[in-house]
Chain A
Amino acid sequence: MGNNSLHVLKGINFDVKQGELVSIMGSSGSGKSTLLNILGMLDEADEGSYTLDNVPIKNLNEKIAANYRNKFLGFIFQSFNLINYKSALDNVALPLYYQGVPRKERVERAMHYLDKVGLAPWSHHLPSELSGGQKQRVAIARALASDPKVLLADEPTGALDTKTSYEVMELIQGINDDGKTILVVTHEHDIAQMTKRIVNLKDGVIIDDSMVEQVRASQYV
């Protein structure tokens, strides 16, 4: 914004392999959200390269970026970002709508993912009729609906209480167990401990990148 450009990330180099569950940690201002936005093609890096599933991501115009986001990526936000006048089912079906999937198949697939997050009975409820944990689970189902290669979660438990947070993490772990690659941005240590690898950012550089012993969320629930 404006003329004051700020270099948030100052040289990040890391790989994520298929099937990993990585948490990106750091205090506010450390650049973890910016990193996630670049990975999510919502933002573009000034320099450097980014390869996703052997596809170099560069020279994006909005149309191509939208197409890539739709095909490769699923987003989970801190504030859920459900569309409040659409039912849970319609929210989950939205990425499929943008893929041009026919209506009937869309509803079937959306229903499948809603069932997977345990919310099939709530499929016709509006977001306002759901609890915070339920909303986040709808959002996770939506992120899964287009069968993306990578899930990007930006503080997925930031707006939830501890118990619900663990429930959501249990779900995320389950999805990872099925082989999906997931990146989670968080600043909570207990959440980070539930992933398999922790990347620590400070002032735009990686200060620590280590595998951890995964804590199963199910033991807290």
Chain B
Amino acid sequence: MFSRDRWEEILEALNANKFRTFLTAFGVFWGITILVLLLALTNGLRNGVTADFGNFATNSMFIWTQQTSKPYKGLPKGRRFNFKLEDVATLKNDFPQLKYVSPRNQLGGYSGANNVVRGTKTGAFQVNGDYPEFIKQQPMDIIQGRFVSYSDIKSNRKVCVIGTGVVKGLYDKGERPLGTYIKINGVNFMVVGTFKVSNSQGDKEEDANTIFVPFTSFGQAFNFADNVGWMALTAYDGTNITTLKPQILETLKSRRTVHPEDDRAIGNFDLSEAFGRVNGLFSILGLVGYFVGALVLMSGIIGISNIMLIVVKERTKEIGVRRALGASPWMIKSQILQESLILTILSGMVGISFAAAVIWGLNYVLDMSGPVENFANPSVSMSVVFTALFILVVSGLLAGLIPANSATKMKPVDALRIE
């Protein structure tokens, strides 16, 4: 269909009126540029907002105890209770879909009182009792040493892993923290590692001012026994944590003797659901981008259709001559169709390239000026590019359809008579 001769025919025809070809092509160029840019900006917004979720595994939920709101089996309402370590074992056992179940305990926290001492320096830091797998749920970079290990857990070792903020607060410049001791609430812990959380937007300071100690030593040192403050659960990729949530809650309620319909006894935050909601929002924004972009593109397409109609009108006589020389109506039609198709695709490609250049420029500026709140790395995927090309092909054909039909409507004898 696209032989060399066809190409020549088409390029000759397009070249015959360069300026008009350019102006016509500009409409489509502009439309596709706006379409791609809108999608890239949507994506940038999405990237920026989801960065707020940090690196935390998104198929996760947090779960903690509150006060009961219903009396149950002789127990009053308003009762406080705690999860126990054996609940963790039960969850791991009953729910093979769960990848990680991390019990956690916590001391201090943001704007708490001073709780950590080293020599003459003191500081107020958040102290977490954790299991080794927690680092897989919330990825962090270990700068020196190591994270908490299972042998720490087993032998209740009093070791700790400290954030960069803690290092800054308790150590002089150039001092090596590994192997030194810090006193947390009066108990000495040896520093075995330092870390930083690489991708957390809002909580940078809080994350840096955190100390991790083994969960078991935490319970022993600070008198938490086998109580569990809260848990971080992550499911395997195949299972959505939100679908597991009701069963998990049910299991925990029955184990802690809580009324099955007591919704306020156990608190939870479903990261997957929150993430899904944000994702949904941006899917809609993406749709809006497609919609608006397609509408702008459509005016470009109408422009092409319009010009092709004029071209057909202008070339009525030429078309008559071609038909006298033996061109069948379909040959004429397909030539008009292909002219509009090529015009559309060419200008569309230039538009996509131009949009890519603008996106590149945006990223360059963003890299130069540092991160901007809620906006990062505007980009489009290859699938968007292919979708855009598909839209172009379809619209190029649509644009040529009416002009192609009008080209062969006139009888050749009448077409030849036109001056």
Name A residues whose Cβ lies closer than 8 Å to a Cβ of B. Answer: 37, 40, 42-43, 62-63, 66-67, 69-71, 75, 77, 79, 81, 83, 85-86, 94-95, 97-99, 103, 142, 146
Q: Which residue of A lies closest to B3 (CB)?
A: A103
Q: How far is the CA of A95 from the CA of B322 in the complex (A)?
A: 8
Could you list 14 further interchain pairs (A-B, Cβ under 8 angstroms) beyond the known A63-B328, A66-B326? A42-B411, A62-B328, A66-B331, A67-B328, A77-B321, A81-B416, A83-B322, A85-B15, A95-B326, A99-B326, A103-B4, A103-B5, A142-B325, A146-B326
> Pick the contact of A75 from B5, B12, B325, B419 — CB < 8 Å?
B325
19 A-B residue pairings within 8 Å (CB atoms) = A37-B413, A42-B412, A63-B328, A63-B330, A66-B329, A69-B325, A75-B325, A79-B419, A81-B317, A85-B12, A85-B15, A94-B325, A97-B5, A98-B325, A98-B326, A103-B4, A103-B5, A142-B325, A146-B326
**Is chain A's interface secondary structure helix, strand, loop, or mixed overall?**
helix
Q: How large is the interface on B (under 10, 10 to 19, 20 to 34, 35 or more residues)?
A: 20 to 34
Q: How far is the CA of A98 from the CA of B332 in the complex (A)?
A: 10
For B416, what are the chain A residues with a Cβ–Cβ distance below 8 Å? Answer: 42, 77, 81
Q: How far is the CA of A208 from the CA of B270 in the complex (A)?
A: 102
Q: Which residue of A lies closest to B408 (CB)?
A: A62
Q: How far is the CA of A103 from the CA of B7 in the complex (A)?
A: 13
Of the candidates B330, B408, B416, B419, the one having the most CB atoms from chain A within 10 angstroms of its own CB is B416
Counting CB contacts under 8 A, is B196 at the interface? Answer: no
B322 to A94, Cβ gap below 8 A? yes
For A42, what are the chain B residues with a Cβ–Cβ distance below 8 Å? Answer: 324, 411-413, 416
Q: How far is the CA of A71 from the CA of B325 in the complex (A)?
A: 9
A85 to B413, Cβ gap below 8 A? no
Counting CB contacts under 8 A, is B373 at the interface? Answer: no
A70 to B325, Cβ gap below 8 A? yes
B6 to chain A, nearest CB (A): 10
A40 to B324, Cβ gap below 8 A? yes
Q: Which residue of B lies closest to A61 (CB)?
A: B329
Q: How far is the CA of A55 from the CA of B328 in the complex (A)?
A: 20
Q: How far is the CA of A98 from the CA of B13 in the complex (A)?
A: 17
Interchain residue pairs A-B with the least CB separation, the first 10: A70-B326, A42-B413, A66-B328, A98-B326, A43-B413, A81-B321, A85-B16, A95-B325, A63-B328, A62-B329
Counting CB contacts under 8 A, is B323 at the interface? Answer: yes
For A83, what are the chain B residues with a Cβ–Cβ distance below 8 Å? Answer: 318, 321-322
Counting CB contacts under 8 A, is B327 at the interface? Answer: yes
For A146, what are the chain B residues with a Cβ–Cβ distance below 8 Å? Answer: 325-326
B321 to A98, Cβ gap below 8 A? no
A104 to chain B, nearest CB (A): 11
For A69, what are the chain B residues with a Cβ–Cβ distance below 8 Å? Answer: 323-326
A96 to chain B, nearest CB (A): 9
For A79, what are the chain B residues with a Cβ–Cβ distance below 8 Å? Answer: 419
Q: How far is the CA of A85 from the CA of B14 in the complex (A)?
A: 10
B359 to chain A, nearest CB (A): 38
B327 to A98, Cβ gap below 8 A? yes
B328 to A85, Cβ gap below 8 A? no
A67 to B413, Cβ gap below 8 A? no
Q: How far is the CA of A70 from the CA of B327 in the complex (A)?
A: 8
B106 to chain A, nearest CB (A): 80
- In chain B, positions 1-57 with a C-beta closer than 8 Å to chain A are 4-5, 12-13, 15-16
Q: How far is the CA of A71 from the CA of B328 in the complex (A)?
A: 12
For A142, what are the chain B residues with a Cβ–Cβ distance below 8 Å? Answer: 325
For B329, what are the chain A residues with a Cβ–Cβ distance below 8 Å? Answer: 62-63, 66
Q: Which residue of A lies closest to B12 (CB)?
A: A85
B3 to chain A, nearest CB (A): 8
Q: How far is the CA of A203 from the CA of B346 in the complex (A)?
A: 55
- In chain B, positions 324-375 with a C-beta closer than 8 Å to chain A are 324-331
Of the candidates B15, B327, B328, B419, the one having the most CB atoms from chain A within 10 angstroms of its own CB is B328
Q: A42-B411, A85-B12 are in contact. Are A67 and B326 (CB under 8 A)?
A: yes
Q: Which residue of A lies closest to B415 (CB)?
A: A42
For A99, what are the chain B residues with a Cβ–Cβ distance below 8 Å? Answer: 326
- In chain B, positions 262-286 with a C-beta closer than 8 Å to chain A are none
For B408, what are the chain A residues with a Cβ–Cβ distance below 8 Å? Answer: 62
A2 to chain B, nearest CB (A): 13
Q: A42-B416, A86-B12, A103-B4 are in contact. Are A98 and B331 (CB under 8 A)?
A: yes
Of the candidates B5, B15, B326, the one having the most CB atoms from chain A within 10 angstroms of its own CB is B326
Q: How far is the CA of A85 from the CA of B318 in the complex (A)?
A: 11
A144 to chain B, nearest CB (A): 12
For A95, what are the chain B residues with a Cβ–Cβ distance below 8 Å? Answer: 325-326
For B322, what are the chain A residues with a Cβ–Cβ distance below 8 Å? Answer: 83, 94, 98
For B327, what are the chain A residues with a Cβ–Cβ distance below 8 Å? Answer: 66, 98
Q: Which residue of A lies closest to B13 (CB)?
A: A85
For A63, what are the chain B residues with a Cβ–Cβ distance below 8 Å? Answer: 328-330
B319 to chain A, nearest CB (A): 10
Q: How far is the CA of A94 from the CA of B117 in the complex (A)?
A: 94
Q: How far is the CA of A40 from the CA of B326 in the complex (A)?
A: 11
